[in-house]
Amino acid sequence: MTESSSVPTIGVFDSGFGGLTVLRALIALAPQAHYSFIGDTARLPYGSKSRRTIARYAAQSARFLVEEEGADYLVIACNTASALALEDIRAAVPSSVSVIGVIEPGAQAARRASKTGDVLVIATDATVHSHAYAAACRTQGLRTLEKACPLLVPLVEEGWVTPSTLNEPLAPQTASAPPQLAVTAEVVRIYLEELSTEAAAEGLNPDTLVLGCTHYPLLKPIIERVLPAGTKIIDSAQSTASELVMYLCRDLGAPPKPAPTDPILRFFATDSVEKFERLGSRFLGRPVGNVQLVDLGG
């Protein structure tokens, strides 16, 4: 925060566009902050990479947000980077910068939602193999079963999701429904059926599904259709935003006030700004413009 201004700058980082779902929740809860978002689109996906590579890439983005954009807080709006590189990110920036990941808030939201104490998690390969969700859920007293769903990120990136925006209920299936949507729905169905068979084999009685990847909220209407009625779906965006507000209240001594004007948003990407603007608005739920191309190095 600059001395002349009490308006904090929040740096938000993702490997791609998915973290814009988290930015959307942040803006809703803390609309008066300034936000700088970087999507490391040139190096996406992180979910199939090694811990060392993910940590190196994530630390570069974190430094960019702090050194170039003056971020006072960092929100790691990427489950894979939060699961594997949170400590590396903290080590890469001054200790005065609060770094918030999405895993702990997601596990806390799952605990609030689950009555049976058994929770399913879907995520990228790297997140699942880190077992970060299992560990965070265990501290919340929950049992978990995690499943990697590596086909889902490319389907979302390709735009093979519900035609318009986040959380819109899926129209009844008709002959005119786009065939791309049917492909995505089938992939989701196969993953979730496998997961529920594995859960039954392990004697779990899950009532909650954690979307452990920031791309998955765009699949929520499709996922809802496949899950047993009454299953709760956790998108950690909301609880991450609440955690940020907690930090803001702690540091500024007051909850954020509603902004009279639109929040100040700055966007950066490491690859095609055109694609970022086009796909990004779906994730953010408002137009994404003036995206600047940055080179974070190797």
Nearest approach in angstroms of CB 40 to ligand DGL is 8
Nearest approach in angstroms of CB 142 to ligand DGL is 20
60 binds ligand DGL per the rule CB under 6 A: no
Structure tokens, 297: 């190095």
79 binds ligand DGL per the rule CB under 6 A: yes
Residue 137 appears among annotated catalytic residues: no
**Residues 168-207 close enough to bind ligand DGL by CB under 6 A:** none
240 binds ligand DGL per the rule CB under 6 A: no
Q: Which of 9, 12, 15, 226 is in the footprint of ligand DGL by CB under 6 A?
A: 15
Q: Which of 23, 153, 204, 248 is in the footprint of ligand DGL by CB under 6 A?
A: 153
User: Looking at beta carbons only, is 23 or 248 nearer to ligand DGL?
Assistant: 23
99 binds ligand DGL per the rule CB under 6 A: no
Residue 78 appears among annotated catalytic residues: yes
Q: Which of 8, 11, 47, 206 is in the footprint of ligand DGL by CB under 6 A?
A: 47
Nearest approach in angstroms of CB 75 to ligand DGL is 12
**Residues 250-279 close enough to bind ligand DGL by CB under 6 A:** none
Nearest approach in angstroms of CB 82 to ligand DGL is 8
DSSP string, the chain: --TT----EEEEEESSSTTHHHHHHHHHH-TTSEEEEEE-TTT---TTS-HHHHHHHHHHHHHIIIIIT--SEEEE--HHHHHHHHHHHHHHS-TTSEEE-SHHHHHHHHHHH-SSSEEEEEE-HHHHHHTHHHHHHHHTT-EEEEEE-TTHHHHHHTT-S-SS-TTPPPPPP-TTS-HHHHHHHHHHHHHHHHHHHHHHHTT----EEEEESTTGGGGHHHHHHHSPTT-EEEEHHHHHHHHHHHHHHHHHSSPPPPPSSPPEEEEEESS-HHHHHHHHHHHHSS----EEE-----
* Listed ranges 41-49, 137-145, 182-190, 287-295: which one lies at the site for ligand DGL (CB under 6 A): 41-49
78 binds ligand DGL per the rule CB under 6 A: yes
CB 257 within 8 A of CB 32: yes
18 binds ligand DGL per the rule CB under 6 A: yes
Residue ranges binding ligand DGL (CB under 6 A): 14-16, 18, 44-47, 78-80, 124, 127, 153, 213-215
Which residues are identified as catalytic?
Answer: 78, 213
